Amino acid sequence: MFLFGLKKLLGALLQPLPAGMLLAALGLALLWRRERRLPRGDAARASVWPLRLLTAGLALLWLASLPIVGSGLLGALEAEVPCLDDAALPDGVAAIVVLGAGYHPEPGRPLTSSLSSHAVARVTEATRLARLLPAARLHCTGWGGRYEGSNAEASCALAVALGLEASRTVTHGEARDTAEEAAAVAAAVPSGRVIVVTDAGHMPRALGLFRAAGVDAVGAPMGHRVGSTWSLWPLPSERSLDATSTAMHEWIGRLWAWMMR
């Protein structure tokens, strides 16, 4: 539990937005502190490092928000695993696994509001594949965190609402991250090929963890966010910052997985 919490904390702090804001805030705090405590001439000379921290934080935010940076980092990840061809799906598929992607239920809201937009898209694609492969069962993963129920249960319920038979669904509601999802599926599907459904940017790391757990995994990437052409627009945008943050999350996850070997 400690390592899980530490991973989440470090992963959050190393993202461009919090890291840039922390650097800028630290530089600004030191700048004000020295300005108040030192004579004017000494304060000016002592302001070099605070100004450098402030500049570094703002520069990090600016660069991470540029379209060319977000598209480059996330696009490289999305290009690692090719999409599945519906006309040439793999043989011997025993299971289709849809990975968890956000669960936040509220009373009175529809099922699609209990799952994040990423989760809804993943379940939709996994259900579509399940209809093309009637012999495969749909395994839904993801815990519930502080909420009642789980991401896995909500995902399977959505698949059933979309027309899939409930008897074909399996839940793994205790898995908290991709590594635990891979371990749960490895135990439940001891033989046969498994199709993993997750966002294209997350797919390379997910496949690596599933294969390391002994699963004969094939990727079905979806939710692509970067096209074949990249924008050279020089102004920052929220969308580009989100793309950079997603890519950084994946690289941090890869680093953590390597450290935990």
Select the more confidently predicted residue: 235 or 85.
85
Domains defined for the chain, CATH in brackets:
2-77+239-259 (no CATH), 84-222 (3.40.50.620)
- Helix, strand, coil proportions of the chain in percent (round to 5)? 55, 10, 30
Residues in CB range of 114: below 8 A, 6 or more apart: 103, 104, 105, 106, 154
174 token code pair: 């205790």
pLDDT of residue 123: 98
Select the more confidently predicted residue: 172 or 11.
172
pLDDT of residue 38: 53
pLDDT of residue 234: 80
pLDDT of residue 165: 97
How many Å apart are CA 222 and CA 118, to the nearest integer? 10
201 token code pair: 């940017």
Contact 6, 240 (CB under 8 A): no
How many Å apart are CA 226 and CA 68, to the nearest integer? 11
pLDDT of residue 57: 93
Contact 252, 11 (CB under 8 A): yes
170-209 residue pLDDT tens: 999 999 999 999 999 999 999 999 999 999 999 999 999 9
φ and ψ of 14, to 5 deg: -90, 0
pLDDT of residue 124: 98
85 token code pair: 């061809």
Select the more confidently predicted residue: 42 or 73.
73
49 token code pair: 């490092």
Q: Which residue has the tokens 């052409």?
A: 229
DSSP 196: E
Q: What pTM was estimated for this model as a whole?
A: 0.86
Split at pLDDT 50, 70, 90, the class of 258 is confident
Q: Which has the closest alpha carbon to 54: 99, 19, 23?
A: 23
Per-residue pLDDT at 44 exceeds 90? no
